[in-house]
């Protein structure tokens, strides 16, 4: 396991739980490497030169930024190596390795929050049918569904995930700040947050369950809200644009 951050931790534990021992953890940070290796009962190193060469699979679970930096320093050529990044094409391995691919789990990982990978899908890509088969057989034991996806489509899926998860959370944050301005705790909004997610998930498509003043084109309410938000121009601009998007949809 190359990396010891959120994705590395969740993935390592799930892989090992399913009977595939993680033999070694690499991280630049000795604390992180030792901590994850300790959890797994694995070895660890902070030197790429000390990577074991006998693993079945090398997983680079690093941020999109860090992957191109580490690749030239990896002492691997024949060993099957994958990264886990949504927005980095598989071609980044070209000319450097002979056996490579991508293993992209569609989930947002936080260290503190345990995630059950057996509920989430994973998207694979490999440079040969044999390597794809190896990845499929490992991933099949860990994830709820295993899908082959090209780099181009994976980038689209990553953008979709940013909208569905990162941006959604940032709207929760705006809502939390607005409710605080009304002297109310975000706790009071939590039933609404959960119900909105549940309803979209239960629906055929989120468009079918869209509600609110923009959907009804309720000009009075839209106008009042925009006026109220004049004190926070960035939120006002988002309010107008998101409303516009709903109206056009």
Which residues within the stretch 127-186 sit at the binding site for a second copy (CB under 8 A)?
144-145, 147, 149, 153-176, 178-179, 181-184, 186
Binding to a second copy (CB under 8 A) within 89-128 occurs at 106-110, 113, 115, 119-121
Question: Per residue, what are the HEC states of 113-163?
Answer: CCCCHHHCEEEEEECCHHHHHHHHHHHHCCCCEEEECCHHHHHHHHHHHHH
Binding to a second copy (CB under 8 A) within 2-61 occurs at none
C-alpha 153/C-alpha 161 separation (Å) is 12
C-alpha 113/C-alpha 126 separation (Å) is 30
Provide, rounded to whole angstroms, the least separation between the CB of residue 60 and a second copy: 16
Residue 56 or residue 211: which is nearer to a second copy going by CB? 211
User: Is residue 209 a contact point for a second copy (CB under 8 A)?
Assistant: yes
User: Is residue 87 a contact point for a second copy (CB under 8 A)?
Assistant: yes
Provide, rounded to whole angstroms, the least separation between the CB of residue 118 and a second copy: 10
C-alpha 14/C-alpha 119 separation (Å) is 12
Count CA within 13 A, CB hemisphere, residue 207: 5
Q: Number of residues in contact with a second copy, rule: CB under 8 A?
A: 94
Provide, rounded to whole angstroms, the least separation between the CB of residue 191 and a second copy: 5
Per 3-state DSSP, the chain is made up of helix, strand and coil in percentages (nearest 5) of 55, 10, 35
Instruction: Name which position in 20, 35, 46, 63 contacts a second copy (CB under 8 A).
Output: 63
User: Is residue 216 a contact point for a second copy (CB under 8 A)?
Assistant: yes
């Amino acid at each position: 396991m190359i990396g010891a951050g959120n994705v590395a931790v969740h993935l390592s534990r799930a892989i090992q739980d399913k009977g595939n021992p993680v033999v070694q953890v690499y991280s630049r940070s000795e604390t992180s490497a030792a901590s994850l290796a300790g959890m797994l009962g694995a070895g660890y190193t902070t030197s790429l030169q000390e990577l074991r060469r006998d693993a079945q699979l090398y997983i680079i679970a690093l941020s999109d930024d860090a992957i191109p930096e580490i690749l030239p320093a990896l002492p691997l050529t024949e060993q099957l190596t994958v990264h886990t990044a949504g927005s980095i094409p598989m071609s980044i391995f070209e000319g450097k390795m002979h056996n490579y691919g991508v293993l992209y789990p569609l989930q947002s990982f936080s260290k503190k929050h345990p995630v059950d990978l057996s509920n989430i899908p994973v998207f694979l890509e490999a440079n040969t049918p044999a390597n794809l088969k190896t990845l499929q057989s490992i991933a099949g034991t860990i994830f709820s569904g295993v899908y082959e996806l090209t780099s181009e489509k994976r980038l689209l899926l990553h953008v979709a995930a940013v909208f569905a998860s990162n941006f959604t959370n940032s709207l929760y944050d705006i809502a939390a700040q607005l409710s605080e301005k009304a002297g109310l705790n975000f706790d009071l909004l939590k039933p609404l947050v959960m119900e909105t997610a549940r309803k979209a998930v239960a629906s055929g498509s989120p468009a079918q369950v869209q509600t609110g003043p923009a959907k009804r084109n309720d000009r009075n309410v839209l106008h009042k809200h925009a006026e109220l938000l004049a004190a926070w121009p960035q939120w006002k601009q988002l309010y107008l644009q998101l409303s516009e998007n709903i109206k056009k949809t």
